[in-house]
Amino acid sequence: EIQLAASGGGLVQPGGSLRLSCAASGFNLNKYWMSWVRQAPGKGLEWVANIKPDGSVRYYVDSVKGRFTISRDDDKNSLSLLMNSLRAEDTAMYFCASEYWGSYDNWGQGTLVTVSS
């Protein structure tokens, strides 16, 4: 069974940092483009970042460029999102997801990031 398990969320002060992780089981992450998608409380979905299977190409939504870094660890079959200089507007549930034909076919359960003083 394919599973993605996101972790690492929590409460952090504005300007702080957090690293999210997404562990995969039942499939090899290194065969897929992988993304992070977030959802602010009571709001819609927003794509945040993605990474090519070999890790050579990464894309980010403009609002996080220069602050967030997506990476993958094929030895651990996992995905990460390093978030620096966090802002209140980064408060959201963060989901990891695998890509398939321009869609997201497998999703983790989400990990909540709250940026507040």
Q: Which is nearer to other proteins, 12 or 93 (CB)?
A: 93
* Cα dist from 2 to 14, 25, 64, 98, whole Å: 35, 6, 29, 11
- Is residue 54 within 8 Å of 32, Cβ to Cβ? no
103 binds other proteins (CB under 8 A): yes
100 binds other proteins (CB under 8 A): yes
94 HSE (CA, 13 A, CB side): 30
CB of 44 to other proteins, least distance (A): 5
41 binds other proteins (CB under 8 A): no
Mark 55-74 with x for binding to other proteins (rule: CB under 8 A) and - for no binding. Answer: ----x-x-------------
**Which residues touch 94 (CB under 8 Å, ≥6 apart)?**
6, 9, 20, 36, 37, 38, 48, 81, 110, 111, 112, 113
Q: Which residues pair with 60 in a beta bridge?
A: 49
109 binds other proteins (CB under 8 A): yes
Q: Which is nearer to other proteins, 55 or 110 (CB)?
A: 110
CB of 11 to other proteins, least distance (A): 19
Site residues (vs other proteins, CB under 8 A): 37, 44-47, 50, 59, 61, 95, 100-105, 107-110
